[in-house]
A = this chain, B = another copy of it.
Amino acid sequence: MITLDIIAFDADDTLWHTERLYVDAQARFVQLLAHYRDLEWVRERLFQTEMRNMQHFGYGVKAFALSMIETAVELTEGQVSGQDIHTLIDLAKEMLGAEVELLPHAGEAIPALAARYPLMVITKGDLLDQETKIARSGLGGYFRHVEIVSEKTTESYARLFQQHGIAPERCLMVGNSLRSDVLPILALGGHAVYIPSDLTWQHEVAQPPPPGQPGFYQIEHLGQLPELLAWIEGNQACG
Residues of A within 8 A of B (CB): 53, 56-58, 62-63, 65-66, 69-70, 72-74, 76-83, 85-86, 89, 92-93, 96-97, 126-129, 131, 145, 148-151, 163
Flag if A78 contacts B89 (CB, 8 Å).
no
Known: A78-B82, A127-B126, A127-B148. A62 touches B66 (CB 8 A): yes
Known: A127-B149, A127-B150, A128-B150. A66 touches B92 (CB 8 A): yes
Flag if A57 contacts B66 (CB, 8 Å).
no
The distance from the CB of A161 to the nearest CB of chain B, in whole angstroms, is 15
Flag if A127 contacts B58 (CB, 8 Å).
yes
Known: A62-B63, A127-B150. A70 touches B83 (CB 8 A): no
Flag if A79 contacts B78 (CB, 8 Å).
no
The distance from the CB of A39 to the nearest CB of chain B, in whole angstroms, is 20
Instruction: Give 25 A-B contacts (CB < 8 Å), ordered by A residue.
Output: A53-B93, A57-B62, A57-B96, A62-B63, A62-B126, A65-B66, A69-B69, A69-B85, A70-B89, A73-B83, A73-B85, A73-B86, A73-B89, A74-B86, A76-B82, A77-B82, A78-B83, A126-B127, A127-B127, A127-B148, A127-B150, A128-B150, A128-B151, A131-B150, A145-B163
Flag if B82 contacts A86 (CB, 8 Å).
no
**Copies of this chain in the oligomer:** 2
Give the residue name and chain of the B residue nearest to A144 (CB).
B163
Give the residue name and chain of the B residue nearest to A83 (CB).
B78
Q: Which of B69, B86, B131 contacts A78 (CB 8 A)?
A: B86
Q: Which of B81, B128, B145, B150 contacts A58 (CB 8 A)?
A: B128
Extra pairs beyond A58-B128, A78-B82 (9, CB < 8 Å): A56-B97, A57-B128, A58-B127, A62-B63, A69-B85, A73-B82, A73-B85, A78-B83, A85-B85
